Amino acid sequence: MPSIDLTGKAAVVTGSGRGLGLAYAHALAAHGASVVVNDVDEAVAEAAVKSIAEAGGKAVAEVVPVGTAEAAERLVNRAVEEFGRLDVLVTNAGILRDKVLWKMTDEDFDAVITTHLKGTFTCARAAAVRMREQGEGGSLILVGSPAGQRGNFGQTNYAAAKAGIAAMARTWSMELGRAGITVNAIVPVAATAMTETIPAFAPYIEAMRGGEPLPDFLRKGEGFGTPEDCAALVPFLASEAARGVTGQCVGIGGDKVALWSHPQEIRAAYADGGWTPAALADAWPTSVGAELQSVGIPAPKFPEA
């Protein structure tokens, strides 16, 4: 089994004061990386840094909301000032403003797009500039979501941002390949403050926090576990063991890791001279429309009582 050693590398993890982001920061530090922890709450950020130090890692805090170019520069500059370099960026920061389409305000939409999509763009741009200047490659690890892969009811803004993040990972993997910078999107599924609000999950999460393990139908069947279960993917993608992995969307949760497919044509039909609306209506049911694709995140398959 290859050794995952990130000694001498420096990482920035946005939104890493708690939850999945904190798990990513701990995992990177446990494998030798020095970490810039980021959060909008100073007390939360400092507590995260303390927990990493107590576990034997090295970290500093940078308190700033991501989204602007100025915030991105602050994060990259802090890594360089403290650790002399930047090798890994994990764009985890995010917020939710869930509403159905006809109730979602411009402010709801803009806030989520700014944090998730523009925040990923500005931070990745600043990191890419620094990594290209260093000339030693690097790793951009963008955080996606099943909502961005399949859509999710009430999450127009969030699903759009996460779908855009997956597209940016594919695009940047091509643009940064010559510089030796890998770019991947991860698709985590874990027990967090968001998922514990789902009534069907709540009793299992509560039992887990009481010391009981999650059942196999969740850990294996649903790929659902703790934030720490998702964290292993981050140091792997940041390591030399993953130098050949780029432009991918990789899901992880519980006991499961999976590769998401990229969108591609699955059926095609042809008409000499092009199509008319009537010809499309005639051919559709038995050609390209014979098996339409599903949408939405599949409901968990809970065992019968």
Residues serving a catalytic function are 145, 158, 162
3-state DSSP assignment of residue 197: helix
Rounded distance between C-alpha atoms, residue 9 and residue 35, angstroms: 9
Burial of residue 213 (CB within 10 Å: 0-12, 13-18, 19+) is exposed
Helices (H), 31-90: 42-54, 69-83
Q: At what angle do helices 156-175 and 119-134 cross, to 10 degrees?
A: 20
Each as own residue / partner, the long-range contacts of residues 212-216 (CB below 8 Å, 24 or more positions apart, any chain) are 214/254, 216/255
Q: Which two tokens mark 141?
A: 């690890």
Q: For residue 249, what are the β-bridge partners?
A: 185
Tell me the pairing of strands 256-259 and 58-63: unpaired
Q: What is the dihedral of CA 78, 83, 88, 90, to 10 degrees?
A: -40
Tokens of 44: 């939360």
What is residue 201's three-state secondary structure?
A: coil
For every residue of 108-136, DSSP letters joined together read HHHHHIIIIIIHHHHHHHHHHHHHHHHTS
Query: Nearest Cα to 37, choosing from 190, 139, 137, 18?
Result: 18
The amino acid sitting at 281 is A
